[in-house]
Amino acid sequence: MEVIRNITPDIVWVGGSDVRLALFENMFPLDNGVSYNSFLISDEKTAVIDTVDEAVGRRFVENIKASLNGRSLDYLIINHMEPDHCANIDEICRLFPEVKIVGNKKTFQMIEQFYDIDISGRTLEVKDGGSLSLGKHELRFVFTPMVHWPEVMFTYDVHDKVLFSADAFGTFGTYKGNIFSDEADYEELYLKETRRYYANIVGKYGMQVQAAMKKVADMDIQMICPLHGPVLRGDDKDMLLDKYKLWSAYLPEEKGVMIAYASMYGNTENAVQLLSNLLAQSGVKNIRMYDVSKTHFSEIVADSFRFSHLVFASPTYNLKLYGGMEAVIRDLAALNVQNRTFSVIGNGSWSPAAGKIMSGMLAEMKNMTPIGETLEIKSALKKEQYPELEKLALAIADSVSNG
């Protein structure tokens, strides 16, 4: 049985949710699955905007047929060619032989790369700023390359003032019945996963995100329809637009300290436990602490985008940096994390190297400011080093409060 819902009188949500998916892109853990959004516009002409992942393909087809109610499908608009959104192109072409596939030059190149279907004679190539009339609904196309693939574009419905934003403004997590952000507590249910989604999926491309936001800044946008997650409107829409401005500029959302540590036998962990206690006593309220061996890197990345201050603590391993810590810092660098203040705690029993390596890796990232001296521990923190730890904690706390 179909599951559909109108978001305007002429626009119907025809997507689906996969509550059983454990890993997004076979990489990012999902506690609550993920939704795949697709929308059908009914006017003098009909158009579907994007398809869905093959996991919910059957539901998607049922929704399309129910929404069309016997009508033919005139257009299939492809904003994004990633397989979780384009997996049903061939099925739509089979069910509706007269359908025109709407996209840009790179869209059609990728269709040929992914699928063995003949699309000759059934494509409509659009240009940046171009438009398509369905009747009273005029669709305008805004090219937004590298948000986060090169073929990505947004589609704006001038009539209903709806922006179909591809993967921008998306989130992990499935629906609990409410499809609009303001029908539920968006910040409670989705914001953490929206941040994790942005930081890990789109975060590398901050400059491109800012360029895309400038291109739509003058549009009257009443709703944003991302390919994952709730339809955004009202205060939630405005809040997330503000978050994107910060995230895309690599500016922290709030003052606070994210501590990532590695510990083989508990000694490095003990040092950061002491540090976090000292920070709390010094008035730092927002503290998050993660063991890189137990916490998925996407969580650490997300809070690195969120907070102003980062602390990294790790033992030396085989004269180099502990593997899990090295992977986290390299991932932060690959995602262009910048404009942060950082501190380092290194440990080593016979040839300490972790502190120097971490400091070097972080210094190579953009606009990263060290606070306090690197604390070097030999095997375990001793009482005579405690004043050094107190000094480091005070330097971090002062920077948080005055930065």
Q: Tens digits of per-residue pLDDT, 171-209?
A: 999 988 899 999 999 999 999 999 999 999 999 999 999
Beta bridge partners of 29: 23
- Which helix (DSSP H) or strand (DSSP E) does residue 85 occupy? helix 83-86
Q: Which of 221, 248, 275 is the last residue of a domain?
A: 248
In a shared domain, residues 90 and 230: yes
Entry pTM? 0.96
pLDDT on residue 2: 66
In a shared domain, residues 232 and 268: no
In a shared domain, residues 193 and 289: no
In a shared domain, residues 243 and 303: no
In a shared domain, residues 244 and 275: no
Q: Which of 224, 248, 272 is the last residue of a domain?
A: 248
Q: Tens digits of per-residue pLDDT, 53-97?
A: 999 999 999 999 999 999 999 999 999 999 999 999 999 999 999
CATH number of the domain that 208 lies in? Answer: 3.60.15.10
In a shared domain, residues 244 and 258: no
Q: Tens digits of per-residue pLDDT, 337-348?
A: 999 999 999 999
Beta carbons within 10 angstroms of residue 363's beta carbon: 11
Q: Across all residues in the chain, what is the average pLDDT?
A: 96
In a shared domain, residues 274 and 397: yes
Does 148 sit behind a cis peptide bond, omega within 30 degrees of 0 on the bond before it?
yes
CATH number of the domain that 345 lies in? Answer: 3.40.50.360
Q: Which of 228, 248, 268 is the last residue of a domain?
A: 248
pLDDT on residue 248: 98
pLDDT on residue 176: 82
In a shared domain, residues 74 and 112: yes
* Number of domains forming the structure of the chain: 2
In a shared domain, residues 334 and 233: no
Please list, in sequence order, all residues whose beta carbon lies within 8 angstroms of the beta carbon of residue 127, skipping any fewer than 6 positions away: 104, 141
List Cα–Cα distances, 177 to 15, 39, 61, 216, 244, in angstroms.
Answer: 13, 17, 20, 30, 26
Q: Find the domain containing 353 and state its range.
A: 254-402
Percent of the chain at pLDDT exceeding 90: 97
For 149-217, the DSSP string reads STT-EEEEETTTTEEE-TTTT--SB--SS--BGGGS-HIIIIIHHHHHHIIIIIGGGHHHHHHHHHHTT
Helix/strand/coil percent split, the chain, to 5: 35, 25, 40
In a shared domain, residues 338 and 368: yes
For 216-235, the DSSP string reads TTTS--SEEE-SSSPBEEHH
Q: Tens digits of per-residue pLDDT, 317-326?
A: 999 999 999 9
The residue with tokens 């009257």 is 220
Contact 191, 215 (CB under 8 A): no
In a shared domain, residues 208 and 262: no
In a shared domain, residues 243 and 264: no
